[in-house]
Amino acid sequence: MSQSTEQKFMNLLKEQASYEEAIGLMAWDMRTKAPKKAIDPRSEVIGVLSQKVHEIQTSEKMKEYLAALTGTSTAPMVIKAVEEARETYERTVKIPKEEYREYVTLQSKAESMWAEAKENNDFKGFQPYLEELVSYNRRFADYWGYDNHKYDALLHNYEPGVTVKVLDEVFPKVRKALTGLLEQIKGAPEQPDPSLLGGHFPKESQEAFSYEILKRMGYDFDAGRLDETVHPFAIGLNSNDVRVTTKYDEKDFRTAVFGTIHEGGHALYEQNIDPSLAFTPLATGTSMGIHESQSLFWENFVARSKPFWQNHYDLFKSHAPERFSSINLEDFYKAVNEVKPSLIRIEADELTYSLHIMIRYELEKALIGGEIEVKDLPGLWNEKMRDYLGIIPQNDSAGVLQDIHWSGGDFGYFPSYALGYMYAAQLHHTLKQEIVFNDVIRKGDFKQIQQWLTDRIHKFGKMKKPLEIIHDVTGEDLNPNYLVTYLTDKYQEIYKF
């Protein structure tokens, strides 16, 4: 019996997903285990496989199946898969195949050069690679087309429906509220003592605690693993192989502990997507903003809360150095929630985190729009850090070189972090209406929270658009006021202003 067009289409998607999984595994290996000399040849292999994905996405077979299935299938999953594949086809076919392969190879090499440049504080060594990446992305934006700002074409890759117009309306309002809170905190009568958290904290002990917390969150180690890397990330090869990475700092356990929980939030999303979506473009998070809402929800709304530490502080002390036994819970909780402008985004406190994102957004928007050039970035970065956070990096490794995103060509990604934080606050507000949130966390049983997130967000994969998810779950569109209210209430209680 001959296969139907629908079956042939699904088989083609499975072939594409298989190549993508192989690419993902190689990317994970390059960022965790691969020897230095393997980077260039591995980059070439990724380029070849990525070209194959490009060919499938833009093939005559794909074009034929999309034409035949549009408006004819009655299966919701197939209808959505056709929609997703069609959009990918229409965007991808505009990029010449050879140019796409060259770009993917450049991405892999640039990530390796970025890691070296960061280690050696060598922006000029990385600059030529970044200039090429920017040039490609400007060109891709023109290929794809846009209505108002060239950057909109790149935003669409990460947060469909969000534009420069939306961000330029929301971000300044949030920035004003956050900088106002920051000023109040600086003059507050009570100040946490971060020195309580200092000293040597062995990596092995941090790893043991992080491992235990991931398990309690519901992360399935039979479908994942925890590894070390320069810049933490989570990667979903498929729902049965979702890997978490972290970075250990023996002088500050917060980097690894909260970073691992953050990446664990991403991983829970990928592990709990409906299995029926496997081997389709729908078997992943619906947007980077919704993805970030999950990681930030777990990192901040759960793990930085007082109820979390009321339950987990004894477990923490069982892994921590002896000096923590004399630190009372209240002082510890305030210390891990200290607000202090910092140089490093992934180490930023809850309040200043979004300011880091807005700096990056403004720079890359101007970069893609042609208002600034790559050589201008270090100086402009330092100026914005001074204006927004009142501090200036002493070197580029702690400044413009700190993030991996630009080395991978991920322009348009950064706004998703701040949007994700706003989504998370809105979800948190809704969840508190349905369960006694603090009591659940205080008991240390996260199954109710995990199930709620799975039922309303995770299981849908890309079956729903990001703003559709937010509206369906919360009953309203994006509302940044929930984030401002949450931060105001939390820090007024800690700092007594």
Which of the following is catalytic: 159, 263, 338, 350? 263
Structure tokens at 375: 């050589």
Is 348:356 a contact under the CB 8 Å cutoff?
yes
Whole-number Å distance between alpha carbons of 34 and 230: 13
Whole-number Å distance between alpha carbons of 447 and 450: 5
Task: Mention every residue, 6+ apart, whose C-beta is less than 8 A from residue 345.
Answer: 353, 356, 357, 360, 402, 403
Whole-number Å distance between alpha carbons of 437 and 439: 6
Whole-number Å distance between alpha carbons of 198 and 313: 16
Q: Determine whether 263 is an active site residue.
A: yes
Q: How big is the CA angle at 425 (ends 423 and 427), to the nearest 5 degrees?
A: 70
Angle between helices 350-368 and 150-158 (to 10 degrees): 130
> Could you give the residue numbers annotated as active site?
263
